[in-house]
Chain A
Amino acid sequence: MKAFPSLDPIDGQDSPMTFPPVPSAAPYGGRRAAAATIRLPPPCSHLASYHSTDGSRSLRSLHRCLSVRPLGRAEVRRDPGEVPHCAACPSANGPRLYACLACAAVHCPAHAVAHADAGHEIAVDVDRAELFCCACGDQIYDLDFDAAVVLAQAAAAPLPERPRPPEAEEGFRKRRRMESRPWNPDPVERTVIWRGSSPLYVQDENFSHTADPRLPLGLRGLNNLGNTCFLNSVLQALLHIPLPRNFFLSDRHSRFICEHRSRRKKDINAGEQQTATLCLSCDLDAMYSALFSGDRKPYSPAKFLYSWWQHASHFASYEQQDAHDFFITMLDGIHEKEHQQFEPHNESNIIGTGDCCIVHKVFSGTLRSDVTCTICGYTSTTYDPCVDISLDLNHNNDYKKCARTSSHICNGESDGTSTLLGCLDRFTRSERLGSDQKLFCQNCQVKQESLKQMSIRNLPLVACFHIKRFEHSPQRNMSKKIDRYVQFPFYLDMVPFLSSSILRSRFGNRICGIDDRDSDVDMELASEFEIFAVITHSGNLDSGHYTTYLRQNNQWYKCDDSWITRVSENTVRASQAYMLFYVQKVLHCNASEIVAAS
């Protein structure tokens, strides 16, 4: 093996990849790395002394000695046909070979340790481009070396088209993180508030149930109008989310104003009698007024059902519907009415970005999809808005991936419990598209086998996860439900599934960032979520029942149509989740404080 040409100038491109790529399910790397920021451990004494003798410069210049495979894996450059072997025991190749940084001699681990005299302690793994301290006998990490690797990777990668991530689009405001400050009104503001608002509770002997101050405001059962538990369960989950609740309670969509506007339209389009009263937001506004009126008798969302059936007419039948389908059409119905209030020419810029209506402000996130050519590594990236994430339940189970193989918890789960994290892992895993699904590569100018990987570019304020329990098989013309328990955490850190983390791990989790617009750490600050509501489905496909578990003021309530009861945390953890709602922690901690009745 050539000595490291650390002082030679760069001459031309790295030689093209000589060996066929190793087929693998994931490109280089892919272990799930959870935390946002890297914590570099202090260097061992040998690395420190290497640095002190101008080691930084030579480490950084090592990029010339590295070659990078199409999918990003870095290794020490070698001549075509050259097979590295240990200088002391040439017959054995071994899985690990180390090249000394000082003299470029290659040894197997055993002989590398023997070679480690003064100045020769640091070596590099020839196949993996990882530093190794032969004196300490352990793999070590160094910023300068990683910088060299990243530089080599950047040089080798075919220039991708640069898609404009959503922020570059006009009208998309980057969500800034602001510190929450308490606000207390001064006397003038207090008067304004008093004059401009109406009390939530009517002090009436009929409403004696409201005497208990511990019961959350706005909590009321919803009457089942005939197989409408799918509707009730979704409403209970949505109505109590702080953002929409505050939106409607502060009159941001008043049914009195909206109806006037529609009525005026009605005069213009004579004969459109029904659509004048079709506004799901107005019905929600009415619902909020009813919920917070102080009356604790169950509420009948009849008008809402009526409006929804007009909006989504293919669902207008007296049979059990799927709660998730309803959720999507409901959001769509609210969005449709809300964003009509904006000027038409603004529509194309802001739809789906979160500025168009309350539902997108709450639920809208952005997914990033990367398609990589397995031959040349060219990656094409697209961004798509989403309001929720639907997760498949594998036929095999989604084991939670453990970095620590000795963890007994992981081994204890050998019965194979599916977990939400496991499903998300699979969702963001690099997937090799079949040879029958070759995609056109801009670089190669032919159709090639590709890898596809999803990641989350922008997190929503409320993350909704939908577990796909209902399987429809068109071949056998039959549907069935998957009853398997799916474990879900109460606290969820979404960092491992962000585009920044996925990208970083795709290129080997190097210390310094790779050059990509999605590598900003900013995104990772608002990645912590708390469970807010769980919609469960019990029974089978034809005759099932939806209920919602709702978390208010650190207490769990079960919303079973008209019945609101208290349940323990254990009941919720053990339930069969169908839809999960997580709220960003920064929002939730303020919202869940008990409002003192004054």
Chain B
Amino acid sequence: MGNKQTIFTAQQLDAYQDCTYFTRKEILRLFYRYRDLAPQLVPLDYTNQPDVKLPYELIGSMPELKDNPFRQRIAEVFSEDGEGNMTLDDFLDMFSVLSEMAPRDLKAYYAFKIYDFNNDDFICKSDLEKTLNKLTRNELTEDEVRMVCEKVIDEADLDNDGRLSLEDFQHMIVRAPDFLSTFHIRI
């Protein structure tokens, strides 16, 4: 590969390197993964920044996301249009945040957005219920779901408004040392 690649200009690669947690080789490898999802849609020349968006169905069919119950939310959070259709920038952004080197605060921010199903910038009871059902594949009874939601809001809600704001969420994540290792996708 070296200096002979013609997919990106040197400035583009530098910009990607400075704005994500990836090196040049990883960025190129991710580009090829992106292209493999739809070779006829993605051109091999990104120097003039073509406007290519891959539909959610293709993104959701990636082996890393295929069986993840939160894949739709992940795609929606990181996509520009909020529907899950991702450009290359969105794709790189997604895997950069989910990589090993992203700091805790950044991951907590996006995790909060992922678990906020109705996009109202708060994790309310209904969001929690949806999260629980996705986590346990609807195995918990309604009573148990309700009790767990109440308990969670009890524990984590610091300002007592009945739902979790970003700060409450971050305050809780700071105390969870495992978060960094579980909120991580290897690509």
Q: Do A and B come from one complex?
A: no
Interface residues of A (CB under 8 A from B): none
